[in-house]
Structure 1
Amino acid sequence: MANIVAIVGRPNVGKSTFFNRLVEQRQAIMDDMPGVTRDRHYGYAEWTGKFFTVIDTGGYVTGSDDKFESQIRQQVELALDECTAVIFMVDCQSGLTGYDKEFAQIIRRSKKPVFIAANKADTPNKAAEASEFYELGMGEVFPISAENGSGSGELLDELIKVFPSEGVEDPDAGIPKIAILGRPNVGKSSFLNVLLGTERSIVTDEAGTTRDAIHSRYKMYGNDFILIDTAGIRKKSKVHQDVEFYSVLRSLRALEESDVCIVLVDALLVGQHNDVYILRF
């Protein structure tokens, strides 16, 4: 069994910030706006000589006005199925909520080792308040600050004890990367899902559904490849939101790190200015 930990929790508790700290890169987009992360996002981390895979997930919530709510929940549940252990992230500033209690029941059903990370414990007083999360009855609570890293060492010391092996430093090293690029809503995520035969990326009719660059292992003709689904690229003059700006930056980074690039176009709208703009990269 592989060393895989899923970081889960309700929206805006700091999952992506902690993910980026563990993998030591700004892979996942961070923003104060809830619901920025939608798909599962994978990275690799190391602690005291043990290597493991980290999965960042979207915020688990029910009854919200987020149109992607059900798809995000599905992605979270897939991460829970796949992982070896769970980091359940909660928020010391807002305290224990009904969503935390509801989601705790979902996590229990996974029957995986659970580590409660009480984030935003940036002061001794806030760290002391983390004790309220023992009410969840899920074992040790670790007050941490994903922002500055305090407390994360104690959490990781306990986490790596449940991993079955020393792990591999970077299982994707040396594997050819194929980036899938295109303008928004051209079908990149649908194309990826068809190739993989699974719902790897969330697909909707709304432009801008994919935000992060999503890496997936793909095997064909006996060879391994890394497929990278990306956010749709538009001209800078048409990008007005911070999240879209960072999404496009990650798409361009995927292009730089890839060995081959597939530019997807809409057969009904061939030759649009945006397609030409992308091809010029």
Structure 2
Amino acid sequence: MNEKQKCFLSAVAYVHNNENCAGVFLKKIYEVLKNNFEHFEIICVDDASSDRSHEAIKEVAAGLTDTTVNLLHMSYYQGIELSMNAGTDLAIGDYVLEFDTVEMDYPSSLIMDIYMESLKGYDIVSASPARRQKFTSSFFYKIFNMGAAGNYKMRTESFRILSRRVINRVSSMNKTIPYRKAVYAASGLPIKNMQYECTGERLKGRDKLEDRYRKNLAADSLILFTDLGYLFSIRMTLIMMVIALLMGVYAMVFYICGNPIEGWTTTILFMAFAFFGLFGILTIIVKYLSVIVNLVFKRQQYMVDRIEKITK
């Protein structure tokens, strides 16, 4: 591409204990954006790293005097979703690149491939590794896609590009975004996924804190963005209502045809009526909760300690 792009582009990257690759990532991203865009910014979100991640970023950013590099420090570990919400809120670009990790297992040229694809009319274009997903990830997305509305099938993603239109739309849908990929997919705007052949393996696994966060996020996402929890609850309450009704019928039949102990029939009928009413109430409550979740999701807030403008 000979002529640089005129639009303003923001790159937001999530960093958590990535001292071995954060600096390298920043260099590569800077080179790609410098060679292809007239105006751009880079925002690194440090999610309370316990290693030298922020120092590695500062060392590289010190030599990047012709662009803006911001290092956003989260007050404490808050996970990728709230951290990236904070970074995206700070971004001012016409397009925003979201990097869920600074470990690059793809060629730098893929970034521009994703951008050029977005110019074909897609508000969201994501990049996913073509390699086979881990069993836990594959199982989660299989279950998620079964219960989620829409035709777009989600899978593991490394990064994505968003137009300002999709950012404005999801912001109007919900003040904070509990699971970005699901909200983007539900935005109703054109979306596309591109797969790439991996050029290397990821350097590190997740620490216990991040692993626990991801598991909780998966469970919350299944409840918030699919109908699986609602359908399971409704069906179970209906089944229990039927069982309670059958208990009442059995008690009446046994009373007429058998020789029950005095008070037994009355007790069983009362219990059957009580359980029938209880599960009927639970059905209504589950429905109300489902409506509330669909309207407001969960009210989450992120808290930022400080923002450092490393370069001017």
Normalization by structure 2: what TM-score? 0.27
Going by fraction, where is helix more abundant, 1 or 2? 2
Normalization by structure 1: what TM-score? 0.29
Larger Rg: 2
